[in-house]
Chain A
Amino acid sequence: MSATVTREQVQPVVYDALAELGPEKDQITDAATWEELDVDSLDLAELSQVVEEEFGVKLKGDDVAKIKTVGEAIELITERAGS
Chain B
Amino acid sequence: MRRRAVITGVGAVTPLGAGARTLHERWTAGVCAIEDGLAPCADFDPTVAMTAKEARRSDRFTQLAVAACAEAAAEAGWEGGLPYEAERVACVFGTGIGGISTIERGTDALHDGKNVSALSVPLMMGNAGAAALSMRLGIRGQSYGIVSACAAGANAIGAAVRLIQSGEADAVVTGGSEAALTPLSKAAFAALDATSEAGISRPFDARRDGFVMGEGAGVLILEEAEAAERRGAKILGEVLGYASTSDAYHLTAPDPQGTQAANAMRFALRDAGLEPGDVDYVNAHGTSTPLNDRSETVALKAALGEERARAVPVSSTKSAIGHLLGAAGAVEAVATLLALRDRVAPPTLGYGEPDEGLDLDYVPGSARPLTARVEDGGAPRGAVGMSNSFGFGGHNAVLVLEAA
Contact = CB atoms under 8 A, between A and B. Distances in A.
A72 to B, nearest CB: 20
A21 B115 contact: no
Contacts, number: 22
B293 to A, nearest CB: 45
Contacts of A46: 117-119
Chain A binding site: helix, strand, loop or mixed by DSSP? Answer: helix
B52 A42 contact: no
Contacts of B117: 46, 49
A79 interface: no
Contacts of B56: 21-22
Contacts of A42: 57, 118-119, 122
Contacts of B51: 22
Interface string A13-30: 000000001100000000
Contacts of A38: 53
Interface in A13-67: 21-22, 38, 42, 45-46, 48-49, 52-53
Interface in B37-86: 51-53, 56-57
- The 8 A-B pairs at the shortest CB distance, nearest first, are namely A22-B53, A45-B118, A49-B115, A46-B118, A49-B118, A53-B115, A42-B119, A22-B52
Interface of B: 51-53, 56-57, 115, 117-119, 122
16 contacts: A21-B53, A21-B56, A22-B52, A22-B53, A38-B53, A42-B57, A42-B118, A42-B119, A42-B122, A45-B119, A46-B117, A46-B118, A46-B119, A48-B118, A52-B115, A53-B115
Interface of A: 21-22, 38, 42, 45-46, 48-49, 52-53
Given A21-B53, A22-B52, A42-B119, 17 more contacts: A21-B56, A22-B51, A22-B53, A22-B56, A38-B53, A42-B57, A42-B118, A42-B122, A45-B118, A45-B119, A46-B118, A48-B118, A49-B115, A49-B117, A49-B118, A52-B115, A53-B115
